[in-house]
């Protein structure tokens, strides 16, 4: 029986009042949907608001449940209007089951969102901060699994077997593994970065390949905004296998340099200047008192070296530079007050007179 004959036969069996009743059934479900969403569901949300997990699940299933009324209305309307012995009745049941599976999967998909209350509670329970990439990674993995399960269940409902797909994947697994070697390496590198947390979003890092502020960490790569305001994308497999310096996690910031003063500086004045410089650093609230050294440490050609070693309490680059500037002016002032000059390149020339040259010739030197 072709489609036209089947359609004409179906039209002869279905009465117009049956269609009206079917539309009435669908309309009743639509009215129930509106009442449920507008009144009953909101009442339940307010009732169970103190139970955050339950409220999160209910909010995630709000839209799937509302569309569930539509599916049920269409199903029961068609079930009533169409003849009970209709040969496509089984397909109608398959449609109903597939719709229910999709709606349930939709609700669970919403629950697995990275911003959902449920995953936020998991994040707080494990002590993860807002910059951690573990929750987004877990969310994406769960969503992929949920979609895969929905497709599998709906496919099996319609008689599609996944055994052939699995067998095909098994035959091509070696080729896929070889082709996706770098991609898999980057994914595992991303997992290592997420679990070990050598850095997080917004932190300043330095590696042999890049230096800057971390903007994003994905499955494949890490994006770093350099101080030239460009974005560098580095594969996770490279980042995970390189030494990483995380400047943002410094407790304090080091200052270390040698200051050269004039070679003919007075010893007593130099000693007094060094004592004053160390006292200036010790009394500064912006300097960490645990380690402060100002020492006359070396003789150099044409200069004397004063070694400075201390730490600023702040690690913020802008504040650090402001402190360095303030201290540099203080050092200049103390050296000026003590009469100590800074060293500068000097070249000495010895000019010999003619009489001295003759004496050298007589001595056989020339």
Task: Grade residue 71 by pLDDT with cuts at 50, 70 and 90.
Answer: confident
C-beta neighbour count of 199 within 10 angstroms: 24
- DSSP-assigned letters across all residues of 160-179: --SHHHHHHHHHHHHHHHHH
Two tokens at 334? 């103390």
Do 316 and 345 meet the contact criterion of CB atoms below 8 Å apart?
A: no
> Which pLDDT score is estimated for 76?
74
- Segment (H or E) for 225: strand 221-225
Q: Is 324 helix (H, G, I), strand (E, B) or coil?
A: helix
Residues 81 and 27 in one domain: yes
Among 206, 222, 248, the domain boundary falls at 248
Residue 166 lies in a domain: no
Query: What pLDDT, in 10s, does the model give residues 134-191?
Result: 666 667 777 788 888 888 888 887 777 666 555 555 545 555 555 556 777 777 787 7
> Which pLDDT score is estimated for 202?
84
Residue 83 lies in a domain: yes
Residue 187 lies in a domain: no
Residues 146 and 227 in one domain: no
> Which pLDDT score is estimated for 1?
47
Residue 88 lies in a domain: yes
CATH of the domain at 203: 2.30.30.60
* Average pLDDT, integer, range 195-205: 84
Helix, strand, coil percent values for the chain (each to nearest 5): 60, 15, 25
- Max mean pLDDT among 10-19, 46-55, 147-156 falls in 147-156
> Which pLDDT score is estimated for 52?
60
Among 138, 160, 182, the domain boundary falls at 160
Total domains in the chain come to: 3
The C-alpha atoms of residue 185 and residue 192 are separated, in whole angstroms, by: 11
Residues 234 and 255 in one domain: no
Query: What pLDDT, in 10s, does the model give residues 216-273?
Result: 887 778 889 998 889 999 998 888 888 999 888 888 999 999 999 999 899 999 999 9
Residues 120 and 13 in one domain: yes
Please state which of the ranges 129-143, 165-179, 201-215, 306-320 shows the lowest mean pLDDT.
165-179
Residue 181 lies in a domain: no
Query: What pLDDT, in 10s, does the model give residues 104-121?
Result: 888 888 877 645 555 666
Residue 11 lies in a domain: yes
Beta bridge mates, 128 = none
Residue 355 lies in a domain: no
pTM of the full structure: 0.50
Residues 75 and 132 in one domain: yes
Which domain covers residue 281, as residue numbers?
Answer: 250-338
Q: What are phi and psi of 51, to 5 degrees?
A: -95, 95
Lookup result for tokens 């494990």 = 126
Name the strands in the sheet holding 293-300, side by side, starting at the edge strand that comes first in the sequence: 253-262, 303-312, 293-300
The C-alpha atoms of residue 320 and residue 345 are separated, in whole angstroms, by: 30
| CA angle 168–236–121, rounded 5-degree value | 90
Q: Taking the CA of residue 328 as centre, how many other CA atoms within 13 Å lie in the half-sphere pointing to its CB?
A: 11
């Amino acid at each position: 029986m072709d489609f036209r004959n089947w359609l004409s036969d179906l039209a002869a069996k279905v009465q117009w009042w049956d269609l009206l009743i079917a539309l009435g059934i669908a309309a009743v479900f639509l009215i129930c949907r509106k009442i449920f969403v507008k009144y009953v569901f909101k009442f339940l949300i307010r009732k169970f608001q103190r139970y955050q997990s339950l409220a999160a699940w209910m909010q995630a299933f709000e839209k799937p449940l509302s569309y569930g009324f539509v599916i049920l209305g269409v199903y029961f309307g068609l079930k009533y209007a169409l003849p009970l012995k209709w040969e496509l009745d089984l397909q109608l049941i398959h449609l109903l089951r597939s719709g229910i599976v999709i709606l349930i999967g939709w609700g669970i998909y919403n629950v697995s969102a990275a911003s959902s209350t449920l995953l936020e509670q998991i994040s707080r329970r494990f002590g993860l901060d807002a910059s951690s990439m573990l929750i987004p990674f877990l969310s994406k993995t769960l969503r992929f699994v949920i979609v895969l399960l929905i497709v599998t269940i709906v496919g099996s409902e319609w008689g599609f077997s996944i055994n052939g797909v699995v067998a095909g994947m098994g035959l091509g697994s070696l080729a896929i593994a070889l082709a996706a070697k770098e991609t898999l390496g980057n994914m595992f590198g991303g997992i290592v970065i997420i679990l070990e947390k050598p850095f997080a979003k917004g932190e300043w890092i330095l590696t042999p390949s890049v230096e800057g502020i971390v903007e994003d960490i994905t499955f494949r790569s890490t994006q770093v905004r350099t101080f030239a305001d460009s974005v560098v994308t580095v594969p996770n497999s490279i980042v995970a296998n390189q030494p990483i310096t995380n400047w943002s996690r410094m407790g304090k910031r080091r200052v270390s340099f040698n200051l050269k003063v004039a070679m003919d500086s007075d010893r007593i004045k130099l000693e007094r200047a060094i004592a004053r410089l160390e006292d200036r650093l010790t009394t500064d609230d912006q300097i960490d008192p645990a380690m402060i050294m100002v020492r006359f440490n070396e003789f150099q050609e044409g200069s004397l070296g004063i070694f400075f070693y201390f730490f600023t309490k702040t690690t913020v680059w802008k504040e650090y530079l402001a402190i360095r500037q303030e201290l540099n002016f203080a050092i200049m002032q103390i050296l000026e007050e003590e009469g100590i000059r800074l060293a500068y390149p000097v070249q000495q020339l010895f000019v010999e007179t003619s009489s001295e040259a003759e004496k050298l010739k007589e001595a056989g030197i020339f």
